Amino acid sequence: MKRTNRRTRYLGAAFAVLMALVFGSFAFGATSARGEEGADAAAPAQSTAETVPGEVLVLFDDPEAAELSVEAAEGGVQALSLEGEGELNDVPADAPAEEAAPVVVEGFEVEEAEVIAPDVDGQTIVSLELADEGETDALIDALDAIKGVSAQPNYVYQLMDDGVSAPLTNDEYADLEYFLGPLGDGTDSSGSNFYAAWQEFLSVDSPSSVTVAVIDTGIDPTHPDLQDNVRYDLAYDAVNDRKLTGDAGSHGTAVAGVIAATANNEIGVVGAASGAHASLTAPKVKVIPVGVFDGPSETSTSYIIRGANYVIDLVKDGKVRDLRVANFSLGIFPEDDDTEFDPAFKSVIDGLIEQGVLCVAAGGNGVVGPDGTNIGTTQVCYPSDYDPVLSVTALTENGANAGYSDYNLHKDISAPGNDIATTSPEGGYVWEDGTSFSSPIVASAAAILCSANPNLTPAELSEIICDTAAPLPSDENSHAGETGSVGALDAHAALVEAIARAGSKPSDGTTPAYRLYNRWTGAHLVTTSKDESMQLRGDNYGSWLADGICFTVLPAASTEGRPIYRVYNPYNGDHFYTESDAEAANLASHGWRREGIAWRAADAGEGVPVYRLYNPYMKANGGLGNHLWTISASENADLSSHGWISESAAWRAVR
């Protein structure tokens, strides 16, 4: 694979690599033909998967003992030295140190050497690029002779799409995103129930922000539909080890759009995850794009490791505390069902899981059949088929298994993968096909679950998503007994379970009260009606934004508690709530409109006090300010310090 824009830190001369592992008082060199005893050992079987010629990845089990340095040597040749403790594979553990014969590996010329992961899942990973591509297998065998060290090829990974994109017209495209809609019955469009999930999300008390890493080709930093939800300050180009400046193809921009295209901005599409936060003043679903491709369709293990390790460091260093999901819409197909394939890549997957990051990956798009279309197979695909990864297969628009989608017992869940409307570079929009786009749909659901319940672990997220899956509405390409996929993603059912596990559902007999804020007038509204909340948030002007759940009350129809009356001020759009019928009547005599009983409050001495505040600065038309209600004593005190007038406790909420 031709390399472009490679780091040139060690280029310009051939380097002899000397790897010295110090065992007790002995130092054993390591950089060329294997020692005599090692030459008789059986070499590990090599996969026939495509590899980058001349490149080797070396894994050291003890990153603290493996200290990398590049030192100038005689004749301008540089030596890569590592010092650590260990012993040779072929020396008995009880042998005296002085009897340990050295294994010398020398003579390999290396054009580039770099630590691409200094400490991931207990290992250090070094990338070597040989001057002679034909010596790759020999170097791997030689390094494998040393205990605590293993070596492997640098495998080639590909994107998991079908390579076809259809441009969309220049219009509002949300209605084309069928995958956001309800589950189907096999006769019409079958989505993943995101609309219902977004509505359910309104019941979440204080949702958390969440960030998704998209490890792909990069992103178009100028796309207007991605501006609000992408962390461009942390976007990373793993190929050139620098800030990401663009998309090496178009794939990454499309994947990011499925997750986080901006909602309610009157253009383009809406992301499956960002739609849940559409009406919130905060927080937001954010995406961090990590470019690991040096071209539009292929990458290698070393670039993926560097990109994934960057994500691990963001979490470990506390730079991004809410990074909970990583999407891999890429893959490779080894010819044998090798669960130990590409251990270097597997180590960073384990490192991400260890940091609380769920890994979601595309399950693969089959092989090209006689008629030129892809046909799904049972061949394994990595990283999707690694055990900790949530592996996603593709469904057609009517909910059947897509004919091109791979299937085997390593797969976990299915989601729409045909005609996925999303973003493309230069401000465009496309339809995309493939498990590459099923994967970010599932990643979006995981992000919403994390926002509702940030305490969920990667294993719990996978469990909830799989346990709440719906049966496929069509038995076309059923692959019964041959696939591990438990069914179709149901984002709503998964969110309900995540909320229940968080204990954030109100107890029986109570209902949450949602507070909304009008950004044009400054007015606040409180309602127990999800329908009213959604209707206001879905107006054509983006006027109303959600302020979350402010308290829990008894329904208006309850026979318990004390009635709270709602009154509307037509002069400035302010809403007012009071348990005093006399106050409601007095306001009505001045032109306010009575809107009946909003809900019922807790009886005197029970529940928590609700503070009523008046903002004298937000005056409109009739010169009347706006009111706000809260059970937060700190919010009451803070607003009072900024000139709001606290009107004491208005009534009592259940909680």
Residue 224 has φ and ψ, to the nearest 5°, of -65, -25
The domain boundary residue, chosen from 501, 535, 567: 501
Range of the domain at 147: 15-154
CA angle 488, 492, 495 (to 5 degrees): 110
Domain assignment present for 116: yes
Domain assignment present for 357: yes
Q: What is the CATH number of the domain that holds 271?
A: 3.40.50.200
Q: Based on the structure, what is the number of domains in the chain?
A: 3
Domain assignment present for 506: no
- Do 273 and 419 belong together in one domain? yes
pLDDT of residue 28 exceeding 60: no
More confident residue, 170 or 80: 80
- Do 517 and 497 belong together in one domain? no
CA distance 345 to 342: 6
CA distance 264 to 278: 7
Mean pLDDT of 23-46: 28
Mean pLDDT of 395-410: 93
- Taking CA atoms, 521 is separated from 106, 518, 524, 543, in Å, by 76, 6, 9, 9
pLDDT of residue 534 exceeding 80: no
Top mean pLDDT of 339-348, 441-450, 469-478, 609-618 is at 441-450
CA distance 330 to 323: 20
The amino acid sitting at 653 is A
- pLDDT in the model for residue 394: 96
The domain boundary residue, chosen from 154, 174, 196: 154
Cβ(112)–Cβ(85) below 8 Å: no
For the chain, give the percent of residues with pLDDT over 90. 36
Q: Which residues, including other chains, have CB under 8 Å from residue 83's CB and lie 6 or more apart?
A: 20, 21, 22, 65, 66, 67
Could you tell me the strand order of the sheet in which 562-568 lies? 575-578, 562-568, 593-601
CA distance 420 to 434: 9
Predicted confidence (pLDDT) per residue in 181-195, tens digit:
998 877 778 899 998
pLDDT of residue 549 exceeding 70: no
- Do 236 and 360 belong together in one domain? yes
pLDDT of residue 45 exceeding 70: no
- Do 211 and 238 belong together in one domain? yes
Using pLDDT thresholds of 50, 70 and 90, give the confidence band for residue 281: low
How many CB atoms are closer than 10 A to CB 536?
19
- Taking CA atoms, 372 is separated from 162, 368, 369, 394, 552, in Å, by 11, 6, 5, 19, 58
Number of H helices, E strands in the chain: 12, 33
Domain assignment present for 2: no
The DSSP symbol for 314 reads: H
Asked about 350 being catalytic, the answer comes back as: no
Asked about 317 being catalytic, the answer comes back as: no
- Do 403 and 528 belong together in one domain? no
Predicted confidence (pLDDT) per residue in 323-342, tens digit:
999 999 999 999 777 778 99
More confident residue, 413 or 36: 413
- pLDDT in the model for residue 389: 97
pLDDT of residue 6 exceeding 60: no
Give SS3 for 436.
Answer: helix
CA distance 449 to 461: 8
Mean pLDDT of 156-167: 65
The amino acid sitting at 650 is A
Domain assignment present for 256: yes
Cβ(441)–Cβ(353) below 8 Å: no
How many CB atoms are closer than 10 A to CB 131?
14
- Do 194 and 131 belong together in one domain? no
Give SS3 for 179.
Answer: helix
Could you tell me the strand order of the sheet in which 420-424 lies? 165-167, 428-432, 420-424
Predicted confidence (pLDDT) per residue in 477-517, tens digit:
777 778 889 899 999 999 998 988 886 444 446 777 777 77
- Do 213 and 131 belong together in one domain? no
Mean pLDDT of 374-402: 93
pLDDT of residue 84 exceeding 90: no
Indicate the range of 199-208, 405-414, 453-462 predicted with least confidence.
Answer: 199-208
The domain boundary residue, chosen from 90, 119, 154: 154
Mean pLDDT of 203-219: 91
CA distance 369 to 372: 5
With 0.85 as the threshold, say if the pTM is over it.
Answer: no
- pLDDT in the model for residue 223: 95
Catalytic residue chosen out of the listed positions 81, 165, 436, 533? 436
pLDDT of residue 587 exceeding 80: yes
- Do 462 and 603 belong together in one domain? no
Q: Which of 295, 297, 331, 292 is nearest to 308 (CA)?
A: 292
- Do 173 and 127 belong together in one domain? no
Predicted confidence (pLDDT) per residue in 605-616, tens digit:
677 777 777 777
More confident residue, 162 or 375: 375
Catalytic residue chosen out of the listed positions 251, 277, 492, 575? 251
- Do 178 and 238 belong together in one domain? yes
- pLDDT in the model for residue 62: 65
- pLDDT in the model for residue 103: 42
CA atoms within 13 A on the CB side of 399: 25
- pLDDT in the model for residue 405: 94
* Dihedral over Cα of 446, 451, 452, 457: its sign: positive
Domain assignment present for 159: no
Facing residues of 628 across strands?
A: 613
Mean pLDDT of 630-649: 74
Domain assignment present for 456: yes
Top mean pLDDT of 15-19, 40-44, 234-238, 368-372 is at 234-238
- Do 173 and 39 belong together in one domain? no
- Do 302 and 440 belong together in one domain? yes
The length of the chain in residues reads: 655
End-to-end CA distance of the chain: 62
pLDDT of residue 86 exceeding 90: no
Asked about 251 being catalytic, the answer comes back as: yes
Catalytic residue chosen out of the listed positions 216, 237, 294, 406? 216
- pLDDT in the model for residue 655: 65
Tokens at 481, concatenated: 């007994």
CA distance 114 to 302: 10
Cβ(16)–Cβ(109) below 8 Å: yes
Mean pLDDT of 276-302: 86
Domain assignment present for 4: no
CA distance 31 to 20: 9
CA distance 587 to 67: 77
More confident residue, 27 or 625: 625
Q: Which residue has the tokens 């994934």?
A: 308
More confident residue, 235 or 573: 235
Using pLDDT thresholds of 50, 70 and 90, give the confidence band for residue 21: very low
Mean pLDDT of 277-296: 84
